[in-house]
Structure formats: structure tokens, C-alpha cells
Amino acid sequence: MNITILGTGHMGRTLAAGLLRSGHSVVFGSRAPAEVEDLPAPAYSHADAIARGDIVISALAAAHSLDTLTPLAGAIGDRVLIDIGNAVDERLDLIYADSSLGERLQRALPRARVVKTLNTVAGPIGVDPTLLTAPTTVFLSGDDARAKETVSGILRGLGWTDDQQIDLGGISTARAVEHYFLLFGSLMGALRGGQFNLSIIR
């Protein structure tokens, strides 16, 4: 599958490495593609990169991704847009305390099929869940069932088995997983790092 990653920071690079390992073709979208070095895949302008992908992943700084992605609504069209971000300010408080970034993106890009996932785990675990000593859980939120099936397949390729994935429902449920960041941040402090994840046991 041809996947476009918008954002060339640590998360974007981590995702690209995992997706390339699982057999996908990857390009990056950047505001200044000529200035970015040492990427594991080619970089283009945001619009050119989107045109080269079937799926778009936003690995942009979540606090600013709504502003960056809204003008790209026409370029994104009806593509699946995977949102992995937790929009917080410099104090690590939620920017959308009464909503979620996922919901705001779906409203701003009504043709896009937004799926929220991978925002509840640190990047290295997201692309390789076997880094932990037991199976854990990843979540999906989105209004389009076929888009979630597509994203579920991408997660499966990264190592998340079907029974490790929980479909929470529509994009309104992105609020729940984004607000989990408050607990995630406290756990990172208590555990002195991000090498952990939730496991939902029935």
C-alpha cells in the first residue's frame, strides 16, 4: 500500500520504519522537503506527497495539525486519514478539553475518512507491540467502517493481532482515547518512561 506520512519528526520517522518493514511504500510530506535529511523515504511538499499516497497519516505536531491539514482538504479528498495525535499545550493540558482532535479533523475535512489510532502508545511500541512482554491493546475510532478495516490491516502488519484491536465506534469516541493522555502522562512520570501499554482483559 502507498502511504503518505505528513510530518518528518520522531513519530513520522518511527512510523515510516515500521511501515517499510511491513512491506508498504512510504513517502513523507514536509513544508520544506529539500531541507530534511536522513529520512528513510523520499520527501515532497504536503500536496505532492498526498497525491502519491492511498492512505495519509498525520504525524504532525498535534497542537497545530488542524491548522495545517484544513487547507489540504481538497488534496486529501476522500482518502483515509489516520490521526495519531494528542493535542496538548506546553503545560501538557488538553487543547480540545470538550472535544477531540479526531472529531475536529473530521469536521474540517468532511470528505476524508478519519480514523483515530496509535495515540495511546509510545511510537516504538506502536510499530512493534512485541517490545512489551505480553499482548496489549490498541484502539480505533472512526465513522467509516471500511476505513477502519483498512487501518486494522495496517495495524495487523505492524504486529497488532485482531484480538489486540478494539473498535470503539464512531469518531466521537476519539475523545475518550485522547483524554487518556492525562493518565498516560502521569504513568510516564511514575514509570520513568513510555515502555508500557494498556491490556484490556475480559
In 3D, which of 166, 5, 155, 188 has the Cα closest to residue 88? 188
The pLDDT value recorded for residue 45 is 97
Contact 140, 151 (CB under 8 A): yes
Mean pLDDT of the chain: 97
For position 178, what pLDDT does the model report? 97
pLDDT in tens, 92-101: 899 999 999 9
Read off the C-alpha cell for 93: 493540558
Distance of alpha carbon 63 from alpha carbon 87, whole angstroms: 5
Whole-angstrom distance, CA of residue 19 vs CA of residue 1: 10
The proportion of the chain whose per-residue pLDDT surpasses 70, expressed as a percent, equals 100
Residue type, 195: Q
Alpha helices in 70-180 (DSSP H): 73-76, 101-108, 123-127, 145-158, 174-179
pLDDT digits (tens, 9 = 90+) for 164-186: 999 999 999 999 999 999 999 99
Q: How many C-beta neighbours within 10 Å does residue 118 have?
A: 28
Per-residue pLDDT, 20: 98
φ and ψ at 115, to 5 degrees? -125, 125
What's the rounded mean pLDDT across residues 75-81?
A: 98
Average pLDDT over residues 11-18: 97
CATH number, domain 2-191: 3.40.50.720
Question: Quick one: how far is CA 111 from the chain centroid?
Answer: 18
- pTM of the entire predicted model: 0.96
pLDDT given at position 136: 98
Residue ranges of the domains in the chain?
2-191
User: Residue 168, exposed/middle/buried by CB under 10 A (0-12, 13-18, 19+)?
Assistant: middle
Residue 190: its pLDDT value, please? 97
Q: What is the pLDDT of residue 25?
A: 98
Mean pLDDT throughout 81-88? 96
Contact 101, 93 (CB under 8 A): no
| DSSP-derived 3-state class of residue 199 | coil
| pLDDT per position as a tens digit, 100-155 | 999 999 999 999 999 999 999 999 999 999 999 999 999 999 999 999 999 999 99
Strand residue runs (E) in 46-160:
55-58, 80-83, 113-117, 138-142
Percent of the chain whose pLDDT exceeds 90:
98
The DSSP bridge pattern shows strands 2-6 and 43-44 to be unpaired
pLDDT at 42: 96
| pLDDT computed for residue 13 by the predictor | 97
pLDDT at 139: 98
pLDDT per position as a tens digit, 52-69: 999 999 999 999 999 999
